[in-house]
Amino acid sequence: MDCPQQQANLHPWRGDGPTLRHARPAPLLPSLVALFGLFVSAPTMSASQPPSNSASAQAASAAANSSSGRTVLTPKPARAPISPAKHLLVIAHRGASGYLPEHTLEAKALAYAQGADYLEQDVVISKDGVPVVAHDLILDDTSNVRDVFPDRVRADGHWYLIDFTWEELRTLTLHERTAEDGKPARAGRFAANGVGFRLHTLDEELAFIRGLNATLGKAQGREVGVYTEVKSPAWHRQQGVDAAPIVLASLARHGYTKATDHAYVQCFDFAELRRIRVGLHSELKLIQLIGENSWGESDTDYPYLLTPAGLREVATVADGIGPWGPQVLRFAPGKVPVPTGLVEAAHAVGLAVHPFTLRADELPPGVTSLPALVHALQAAGVDGAFTDFPDQVRAALK
């Protein structure tokens, strides 16, 4: 989970360089054509409303459907205010991705051993409907797909995960993320070649975590949870795939179905998050990710979600928000970070706050160390945080 960053430069807290890590939905007509096909072929869609990309539009749509005789599913009632969590949750962003290539089982195992409370899974769907743990819609920057399948590139110059079956995907090897020029996206990270890191499915990772909980977790007296993102649902829908039911089904197969389970589901698309709650009847804890409209992440209006009215609307659906760091703290060179007031506003409507992404090798302006950043977030009252360096955040909390 991060923003797409359409420029080659990297930015603290934000994304991983250029090109289609996420994609803005296509124009309306193709989207309607894709939606029609899903209404015909997928019963899970027909029981709920077609996603609307405006939070306020969804309320109007629900009212209209009530008068038309359709089944209307009621969002959650208003939440009671909450206090900051006593113990800040350490959420391993794609595993211990500061030390090992992102979203490899090796990175997840290391994050577990480093004391993470939750391990993150970004999920993209394969050509044959398999939920695969990967951050990007494309395979270009983290795998050897150019070498293995040189002729499978799309007209835009990219290799899309959804164009490959799982059997094909499992033949690829992964490496540390690279930029467009082929150089490491972040200097100083894992540089060895020929190790043989592989893609894996969501089911495989969930089984892996269950196994770790039964051994290492049992020995340490703890249970590490899962924090799963439904990636770019509108884009998947344009490709003829309904991602959310596939992700929820995988979670359910491994026992994650209730609000009390050690699991979160996150998404940048408010329309889809609302559908997951009221259309697909998920009882899991939901997190509304919040970026900037300029990222092209979805048609969700993020500045609106940050207003008191927007947060109240989010609270009818979600259990918390995952904002970008500068939405929580104001940063400036040579100055101490100052809370924006977002945490207090979110807590006032019952929403937890889990900002992204803490990186020891990409600090915001005015921040001299990762522990200093952790302490500033603690002072702001956040309830958890995503990080590439779980061990360093855990140490800063002691």
Active site residues: 93, 135
Q: Which amino acid is at 313?
A: E
75 contact partners, CB below 8 Å, separation of at least 6: 274, 277, 278, 316, 317
- 127 close to 154: Cβ distance less than 8 angstroms: no
How many secondary structure helices (H) and strands (E) does the chain include? 16, 11
Give which of 29, 1, 204 is closest to 212, Cα–Cα: 204
Helix axes 308-315, 55-68, angle to 10 degrees: 50
Distance CA 60, CA 331 (A): 38
291's CB contacts (< 8 A; 6+ apart) are 3, 268, 297, 302, 324
- Is residue 83 classed exposed, middle or buried when 0-12, 13-18 and 19+ CB atoms within 10 A define those classes? exposed
SS3 125: strand
Q: Which residues neighbour 282 within 8 Å (Cβ) at sequence distance 6 or greater?
A: 248, 265, 276
